[in-house]
Amino acid sequence: MAGFFSGPLKHEAPEPLEGPVVATITGGTILWFALFLVQLPFYGWFDDHGHLWWLWTCLAGGALGLLGIRIVRSRDAAIKRAAAAAETAEPTAGPATEE
The set of residues, in sequence order, having a beta carbon less than 8 Å from that of 61 and lying 6+ positions away, is 28, 29, 32, 35
Write down the pLDDT at residue 32: 98
The pTM for the full model equals: 0.70
User: What would the pLDDT profile of 70-81 be if each residue is shown by its tens digit?
Assistant: 999 999 999 999
SS3 of 7, please?
Answer: coil
C-alpha radius of gyration, the chain, whole number: 24
Q: Is the pLDDT of residue 99 over 60?
A: no
pLDDT at residue 10, rounded to an integer: 78
The pLDDT of residue 93 is above 60: no
What is the per-residue pLDDT across 14-68, written as a single tens digit (0 to 9) for each? 888 788 999 999 999 999 999 999 999 999 999 999 999 999 999 999 999 999 9
Side-chain half-sphere exposure of 19, counting CA atoms within 13 A: 4
Which candidate, 29, 23, 36, 31, places its Cα nearest to that of 63? 29
Cβ pair 42, 19 in contact under 8 A: no
Rounded CA gap, 8 and 3, in Å? 11
